[in-house]
Amino acid sequence: MKNVLGIIIAVDNDNDLREITEHRTVAAVPFGGRYRIVDFMLSNMVNSGIFRIGLLMKDKYQSLIDHIGNGKDWDLSRKNGGVTMLPPYSYSKKSSPLVVGEYRGKIDALSGAIDFLQKNRAEYVVLADGDVIANIPIDEVIQQHIDAENDITMVVTKKGKENRLSTYCEMNRRKEIVDIRVGDSNYSKCKHEALGVYVMSRQYLIHLIADCVTHNCIHFERELLTRALTDSKIGGYLFGAYACKIEDTHQYFKANMDMLDKETRDEVFLRTRPIYTRICDESPAYYGDKAKVEDSLIADGCHIEGKVVNSILFRDVLVEKDAVVSNSIIMENGRILNGASLAHIITDRGVTIRDGRTMMGHENYPVVIAKSSVI
């Protein structure tokens, strides 16, 4: 789609992933054994024919830049278009005198990149959060937006468990949004949850940003959307397949565990709409004679001598003899030594669990071990 610009917002004002985001933004957090969370929205856009994408960043973005590089793994290494990194304050002096210090929210981030929006000639903009796990046909969302003549079209899914960080909406039979609430479903009247994906015209987005800056509004959903609701037509695109916004550690853990279910994987990883990621060639995983692996995702380069059950192991993880890993996520270069036992644990990159150690969390509150720790 030559007349569509994609913008992915990798700004973590409302996310709480504790130690996992100590050194990286949520968009750069590893997921599912081989991906990063940003891969899903990048792939959604590319699969829908959007090849001009801006990536808004706030801080801790080195990992994200290293992962995406020039964008060639997503077919975004192009002379015309491609991916543009938009670090903080790159345009803020000219565009928004209110942006002082750190970004306070998405409005500040968008205001800081107003030049990028103004110089682009695209007719429509797809604005998406970088913390969404889903395979969304964005081209269908754009078509519904055009056909319905909406000012804004937002992608929604059926409401799950209520969360103080989530945005809820009430949608009528004409697929029009009539109420928007943040952290409150209005006594369950709002039966849908926003996924943080919005379609609107580029000029209309510029107008909304200018209006919010003038009135010192900083919250996209609570202020920009609710202001637009009073005098604009906001439509809803109901997405029925698997979708999850990674807003806290519990959601991150659950979304990873969901990938162990074949039906869920089939909804997310479609052959017709593949999820792309940075290619890292590794040797195949090695399984020792006494290794036992059940219902797990094991990445290339792993060496398994012990027992792994209902777990996700990223590249180059070692599980030694008599070690047991169950219901856990072990990120790249993890070392689980002889006789160690883990249950409901998330280890960041390069963590070593020493011989004979036992660690146990809970499915609703998994224990997170910080990067490069030795326990």
Give mean pLDDT, residues 139-165. Answer: 92
Integer Cα distance of 219 and 83 in angstroms:
25
- Which residues have a Cβ under 8 Å from the Cβ of 146 and sit 6 or more positions away? none
Q: Is residue 94 part of a domain?
A: yes
Give mean pLDDT, residues 24-53. Answer: 97
Give me the pLDDT at residue 287, please. 97
Give me the pLDDT at residue 1, please. 75
CATH number at residue 356: 2.160.10.10
Model confidence band, residue 159 (pLDDT cutoffs 50, 70, 90): confident
Are residues 263 and 359 both part of a single domain? no
Domain region containing 329: 286-369
Model confidence band, residue 146 (pLDDT cutoffs 50, 70, 90): very high
Are residues 225 and 264 both part of a single domain? yes
CATH number at residue 179: 3.90.550.10
pLDDT above 90 covers a percentage of the chain that reads 76
How many domains does the chain contain in total?
Answer: 2
Are residues 258 and 324 both part of a single domain? no
Whether 13 shows a pLDDT value over 70: the answer reads no
Burial 142-162 (b: 16+ CB within 10 A, else e): bebbeeeebbbbbbbbebeee
Model confidence band, residue 91 (pLDDT cutoffs 50, 70, 90): very low
Whether 337 shows a pLDDT value over 90: the answer reads yes
Model confidence band, residue 119 (pLDDT cutoffs 50, 70, 90): very high
Predicted TM-score (pTM) of the model is 0.93
Please list the residues that pair with 359 across neighbouring strands. Answer: 342
Of the candidate ranges 29-38, 157-166, 342-351, the one whose mean pLDDT is the lowest: 157-166
**What single-letter amino acid sits at 61?**
Y
Give me the pLDDT at residue 87, please. 85
Average per-residue pLDDT in the chain? Answer: 92
Chain segment 352-373, per-residue pLDDT in tens: 999 999 999 999 999 999 999 9
| Selection from 25, 106, 22 nearest residue 68 by Cα | 25
Are residues 23 and 129 both part of a single domain? yes
